[in-house]
Amino acid sequence: MARTLPVIIAGGGIGGIAAALGLARKGIASIVLERAAELGEIGAGIQIGPNAFHCFDYLGVGDQARTRAVYIDHLRLMDALSAEQIAAIPLEADFRRRFGNPYAVVHRADLHGALLDACRASDLIELRTRHNVLGYEQDGSSVRVLLEDRDPLDGRALIAADGLRSNLRAQLIGDGEPRVSGHTTYRSVIPAERMPADLRWNAATLWAGPKCHIVHYPLKGWKVFNLVVTYHNDVEEAVTGKPVSKDEVRQGFEHIHPRAQQIIEHGEDWKLWVLCDRDPVLDWVDGRVALLGDAAHPMLQYFAQGACMALEDAVCLSHMFGSHSDDIETALDRYQRQRRVRTARVQLDSRLIGDYVYHAAGAVAEVRNQIMSGLSTDDWYDRLAWLYGGTGLDP
Ligand SMILES: Cc1cc2nc3c(=O)[nH]c(=O)nc-3n(C[C@H](O)[C@H](O)[C@H](O)COP(=O)(O)OP(=O)(O)OC[C@H]3O[C@@H](n4cnc5c(N)ncnc54)[C@H](O)[C@@H]3O)c2cc1C
């Protein structure tokens, strides 16, 4: 009987709807349960590595994702104290040849929209909003999903893609609240013509300074620049999307070069997030229930890979369901075995590059500058191959 039940997916973010799409490609029906009244994405831009493009192709939305993306020429690293360039990694033909796909930036709503359109076009995917998933019970042959103010729903498996504060992770792992990093991120978007003319680079640019950094890149067909600026101010409380004044944003950046500081002056409608992550864990599966995306491995954004990892998870999960369709528990176990070391590495390395690259000061910054300015393009590609060469199908 469980074979005829759909897979239930909790959470309609990038990870959840990518998983639904991947399962549909294997002929498996699913129901996506989203707590919010509407499916969508908040925030502005997101960077997507070639590993994510491999996933879009697998999920059948490669063309749609490519059409909506902005193709940048470089990943550029600037010293925020001296305003000098430390390194620039070219992303053009050689990069694409090496990794089989481009590096790009895209508006979150466009990316989510490409996946959502494909879900809506599939007979195998049902999308339900205003469904708050509280927990689950299982009996070895099916899973019962417990919902707020609604009857429970039975599925052949439950995929928990319910994000950083996952209710299902609380039941499955029970490792408490996420770790508050003490890094405060402020986000804004500015019209391209308000970006200082000499900084209108076709690049994802990182200005790295002591305990702070600034990231900017063009978005929406070059109509706007996405700004994400972060101050390591050791705050202890998690905050999500709180509007803040420009004066408050300026405070963490008074010690950096005026050329970098001026970028903040052009931002409006700033919003604040205090970033959280978790320590990696090795076990994200309980029988017929598995975590995916931020619910499984929330990370700081310094590798710009959280959504890319959720997409890889979706690919791997669908692949395992396709290969072990008669044995869901084996499929889920294989999925977590394949994904856990790679995602743990990105979680841990994201913390490390936060300390040693993004927010370095004094001698650490000098070491960063010397090492990174000395790398050739091939050195960079070799160092990034483990990450950008991934597809979700390899460990
Ligand atoms: C500042 C910042 C910049 C970033 N930049 C990048 C980047 O450049 N590149 C990149 O790849 N990643 C980036 N990330 C990470 C990326 O945003 C996340 O990793 C990704 O969105 C995770 O997707 P998800 O689907 O797992 O979780 P979410 O996007 O959190 O989706 C979870 C969904 O589940 C729903 N939900 C929650 N609880 C319930 C419930 N009880 N019942 C039903 N539904 C529920 C939520 O409403 C939501 O829709 C960044 C993150 C931050 C904070």
Q: Examine the pLDDT at 100 and tell me if it is beyond 60.
A: yes
Q: Examine the pLDDT at 3 and tell me if it is beyond 70.
A: no
CA–CA distances in Å: residue 220 to residues 15, 191, 203, 343, 376: 22, 10, 14, 29, 31
Q: Write the pLDDT tens digit of every residue in 343-390.
A: 999 999 999 999 999 999 999 999 999 999 999 999 999 999 999 998
pLDDT band at 2 (very low <50, low <70, confident <90, very high): low
Per-domain boundaries in the chain: 2-177+278-388
Nearest CA residue ID for atom 31, ligand 1: 13
How many Å lie between the centroid of ligand 1 and the Cα of residue 378? Answer: 32
Q: Write the pLDDT tens digit of every residue in 62-71.
A: 999 999 999 9
How many Å lie between the centroid of ligand 1 and the Cα of residue 368? Answer: 30
Q: Write the pLDDT tens digit of every residue in 185-228.
A: 999 999 999 999 999 999 999 999 999 999 999 998 899 999 99
pLDDT band at 394 (very low <50, low <70, confident <90, very high): confident
How many Å lie between the centroid of ligand 1 and the Cα of residue 307? Answer: 7
pLDDT score of 325? 86
Share of the chain above pLDDT 90, in %: 93
The top-level CATH class assigned to 2-177+278-388 is alpha beta
Please compute the mean of the pLDDT values over residues 267-292 and round it to a whole number.
96
Kindly list the protein residues whose Cβ atom lies closer than 6 A to any atom of ligand 1. 10-16, 33-36, 46-47, 131-133, 161-164, 167, 185, 228, 273, 293-294, 301, 304-308, 310
pLDDT score of 211? 96
pLDDT band at 238 (very low <50, low <70, confident <90, very high): very high
Neighbours of 282 (CB within 10 A): 9
End-to-end CA distance of the chain: 33
pLDDT score of 278? 98
Q: Which atom of ligand 1 is nearest to the CA of 168?
A: 41
How many Å lie between the centroid of ligand 1 and the Cα of residue 164? Answer: 7
pLDDT score of 225? 94
pLDDT score of 388? 96
Q: Write the pLDDT tens digit of every residue in 128-138.
A: 999 999 999 99
Mean confidence (pLDDT) of the chain: 95
Q: Examine the pLDDT at 94 and tell me if it is beyond 80.
A: yes
Q: Write the pLDDT tens digit of every residue in 370-381.
A: 999 999 999 999
Report residue 325 as tokens: 């369709």
Q: Examine the pLDDT at 141 and tell me if it is beyond 90.
A: yes
Q: Examine the pLDDT at 1 and tell me if it is beyond 60.
A: no
How many Å lie between the centroid of ligand 1 and the Cα of residue 179? Answer: 16
How many Å lie between the centroid of ligand 1 and the Cα of residue 294? Answer: 6
Q: Write the pLDDT tens digit of every residue in 295-305.
A: 999 999 999 99
How many Å lie between the centroid of ligand 1 and the Cα of residue 349? Answer: 19
Please compute the mean of the pLDDT values over residues 31-60 and round it to a whole number.
94
How many Å lie between the centroid of ligand 1 and the Cα of residue 248? Answer: 26
How many Å lie between the centroid of ligand 1 and the Cα of residue 100? Answer: 26
pLDDT score of 201? 95
Of 188, 270, 301, the residue with max ligand 1 atoms within 8 A of its CB, to mutate for a pocket test, comes to 301
pLDDT score of 395? 65
Q: Which atom of ligand 1 is nearest to the CA of 305?
A: 11
Of 17, 21, 35, the residue with max ligand 1 atoms within 8 A of its CB, to mutate for a pocket test, comes to 35
Beta bridge partners of 219: 224
Q: Which atom of ligand 1 is nearest to the CA of 11?
A: 34
Share of the chain above pLDDT 70, in %: 99
How many Å lie between the centroid of ligand 1 and the Cα of residue 11? Answer: 9
Nearest CA residue ID for atom 15, ligand 1: 306
Smallest CA-to-CA distance from 190 within 40, 45, 300 is with 45
Of 8, 9, 14, the residue with max ligand 1 atoms within 8 A of its CB, to mutate for a pocket test, comes to 14
Of 31, 34, 119, 316, the residue with max ligand 1 atoms within 8 A of its CB, to mutate for a pocket test, comes to 34
Q: In what order do the strands lie in the sheet with 45-48?
A: 45-48, 104-107, 70-71
